[in-house]
Structure formats: structure tokens, C-alpha cells
Homo-oligomer: A and B are copies of this chain.
Amino acid sequence: MKIVFAQLNLAVGDISNNTKVIINAINRADSEYDADIIIFPELSICSYPPEDLLHRPSFLNEVNNALKEIISSTGEIFVLLGHPQLEENELYNSCSVIKDKKVISRYNKQILPNYSVFDEKRYFVPGNASCLFNIGNTRAAITICEDIWESGPAKQAAEEGAKIIFNLNASPYHVNKLKKRESIIKKRAQENSMPIAYINLIGGQDELVFDGNSMLVDQNGSVVFHAPQFEEGIFQYTFAIGEKSVPINSIECSEEENIYQALCLGVRDYVYKNNFNGVVIGLSGGIDSALTTTIAVDALGAENVEVLIMPSRYTAKMSVDDAFEQANLLGIKSEKISIEPAFSTMLNSLAPRFDGLPEDITEENIQARCRGVLLMALSNKTGKLLLTTGNKSEVAVGYSTLYGDMCGGFSPLKDVWKTMVYKLALWRNRKDIVIPENVINRPPSAELKENQVDQDSLPDYETLDAILEQYIEQDLSPSEIIANGFAEQTVSRIARLVDRNEYKRRQAAPGVRITQRAFGRDRRYPITSGYQEN
């Protein structure tokens, strides 16, 4: 049996282009590969997740027209295509089996995820039946994504005589997801002594990145075929069910490489799918903007990245020098605009009202907001998207200025802990030096007042990230974290900072989700909350 895996970067809502891409893939599977079957990801026609577009009758109507067009373009080879399907006023997450311009059979997803970033029970009704069809003499069955994470649907298919399962997915990336996913597929294959062909979407969609990693696991639970990760393409694999195939090694790459690839794909797709011609970034001489700029260049090319360097009275000369050095290393357009005139003018304008009031965080925020005004002006004037540079540790404790350094349409490091920011910088510099060593080695500082460093008001980042990871990703209480060996006062203060800064996160730009719990659809906390956990 020759299977073509259509691991495509389909765009949410772009039904007409997705339809062209799908028809083209079907034609290639037939003419170039002479395949028996081509399999597409979950909800291919509208891509995933379409969210509340699914509530628009015209949207479903257009999907249905696209489906008809695709059906009429099929020939001898089997096509497994994911799409939303309205039947008697109920909406299903479906897969049609199409051949010779006809729908032979249709499967409706049975297990609808409604946790983490998923809201499928908001949209779909679950199916309750398996869907078997014959490819030649082989009895085949279908499951969709979450179906395979529980034992039921695969077992049901096996009991009804299936000899192979095709599993259609839109499974988003996070750190270690591939390992988890592989072990589940292997387990299901072994439980039912049946090969599983796993096809996944690829591409960035708002906060999610789909990593591809389509694969075939044989009846013994060995991976015998693996498509690349973070790469679009049409891949084929030929095998005979029951015959011995050669197990291959799983894709091995470092966590840093993995995350870096995800971030690049997330940035590239956000920028281009939203029709921007490039990005602008405020380059400070600090590590976050240095890494963000490097990612932008790797994702978009140096010619599509421009930076502003915006010193103030509190900016060390070294910061400006390092920023210019990095701009040179990367070969990107850079310009220095001091914020001193704007900062002074703002202070003067406010002087009558602030007369007699002591200096406080206000004056620091004004500096960050002057930079925001300049960066957004450059973004508006050039039509380039402003990237904001905050990392997950900062986003967690609110160590950032709303409408200041939080300005920007996309936030590449939003889900990257500060300790991982350093690891990624070191990893990237190992290929070629693109971030000056100074930037990596200096103690981090917001440079918003005299001699300020982050560790004046925060614990060291190793400690901070360890606490945050337990509080946010593991839902541990402060007392449990303290019991794990962290200082009581520090833990309590950090937990309160996380709680209190929900309002900032609610107005933050979207960013690439790389952990199991990002800030976003993943973690839905009230802003107004009297809860103080001990």
C-alpha cells in the first residue's frame, strides 16, 4: 500500500486557497506518486482551529461548496479529507473517504477535546460509530486526533475488523509533545496489532504552532516512516501490512533546536499570513530583544527586519554599542533615536499636575511608553509589524510596561522562560555569532533608572523560573513550592505578582505557544479575583 501524507500548511479560513492546495496534492499523489491513498490533516478545508467562524452559516456553506469541488476532482486514489460537516443541524468534525468523485463513507470524530487550548464541545457534536472501508483487500478505519489519545475508538475499529487506522490530526506543538505523541500511537498500534498512519498539520496559527511530524507506526509499535518536523511537504511511504518493515529512529534534536524551529515558524506564519512585509523591533542591547531580532532574521530574512535603538539618560553606552554590533552582525537596518527629548517633554507637560509628588514607577513607565510611541510610528509608517520582546518570566510577574515595551502585534518569546532565552541565545551563537557575548554575559537590566538591574526586584532567574514553572504550569500552591525548598517570602511575593498581573496579560500580544501551559487560551484566569493561595 502506497500512502501519501499531505503534511500541508493550510491557512485558517482561506477556504479557496486551501481547496486549490488540496486538489493539487491529490493530483500529485495520483500522477507523480501513483499512490493508493492520500491523507490530509483534521479540518483541512478550513484549517484548524477555525474557532467561531464555525458559527457562521455562510462559512459552513463555503466549506461545503469547497468539498464538492474537491470531490469532483478526485479519481482512482482514496482521499481522506478532514472538514466540518453539518448534518441535520448538528455540526461534526468529520473525515470523508472520497474516490472516483464520490464520498464512499464518512467518519465523525468521537472524542472532542475541551481542555487546554481546545474548545471543540463549543462547536461539535461527537460521532459514535467507527467508519470502515476497503482499500483493495485491506479493511481500513479512521480516527481523528483526540480519538487516538483514548483507547476506545481504535479498539472499536479493530473489533469491527480494521487492519489499519488512518489518524487525521491538527495537533499543536509543545516541548516534549512528540515523545508523548509517539508513545501514544505506539501503544494504540500494539494494543490492536495494527499499523497507524498519523498525519498532522504544519504551520503557525496565532498562538499555536503545528509541527507536522507525520508518521507510520507498524503493528508492532515501531515507527517505520517519519515526515520532517516544521516543514511542509507531500511525503510517501509504501509498505505491506503484516510484512516486516524496518524500524527507524525517532527524530532527535536538542530541546533548543526544537523550540527555535517552532518560534521561527510561528513568527514567519504570523507575519506573512497577516500580510505584513516585515517587522520592526526595539533593540536595547539586552538579551530578549537580541534573541527576538535573531529569530526574526532567521524567520524572515535580514532585509525584512528593521530595529530602533532608543537610549535614554539611564542607558549604558555599552548597550547602544552592543545593539549596533548585533545589527551589523545580522546585516539589518538600524537607526538610533534618543528618547530624551520625548521623555523630558512628557515630564514637563506633567509637571504642573505632579508638582510636589515623589518620583516613582510612573517616570520609568513614561520612558518605556515613549519608546512604544516611536516604535509604533515606525510600524505604522512602514507597514511592518512591531514585535514585542518580553519573555514568559516577565509576562508572568508583570515585569513590563503596558503600552510601553508591551507594544507590538506579536510576541515571539511570550512562552519562553528567561532561563531558556539564555539557552537559545547560546545555542544559536554556536552556529554563528549573531548575539554579542556582552549581551549574554551582562546582568539583565531594564535601564529605566540609575544602576538598575532586574535582580534588584526579582530573585535570580533560575529561582524565579523554577517557582513560576511550579505555580503556573503545575498548579502547585505556594506552600507546596515552599516545601520543595524555596524561600517562603520569595514564593509568596512571586505568586501575588502573577495573580495581580492578569490584567496586563489580557492586553498582551499573542505569542508562540511552546509549553504545555502558555498564557492565552490555555490559562483562563479571571482578572477580578479575590483568591490568594497560600
Contact = CB atoms under 8 A, between A and B. Distances in A.
Interface in A45-70: 46, 49-53, 55-59, 62
A477 B338 CA distance: 49
A346 interface: yes
- Copies of this chain, complex-wide, total 2
Interface stretch (A143-151, A257-265, A351-359, A453-461): A351-359
From A59, A269, A341, A507, name the one whose CB has the most chain B CB atoms within 10 angstroms.
A507
B527 A274 contact: yes
A270 interface: yes
Contacts of A11: 528, 530
A255 interface: no
B348 A377 contact: no
A403 B377 contact: no
Contacts of A13: 526, 529-531
Interface residues of A, number: 85
A343 B161 CA distance: 74
Interface in A440-476: 475
A506 B192 CA distance: 45
B270 A528 contact: yes
A373 B374 contact: no
A353 B309 CA distance: 12
Contact of A525 (B53, B349, B380, B533): B53
Contacts of A361: 380
B507 A508 contact: yes
Interface of A: 11-15, 17, 46, 49-53, 55-59, 62, 114-115, 119, 121-122, 204-206, 269-270, 273-274, 335, 337-339, 341-342, 345-346, 348-350, 352-354, 357, 360-362, 365-366, 369-370, 372-374, 376-378, 380-381, 402-403, 407, 409, 475, 477, 479-480, 503, 506-510, 523-531, 533-534
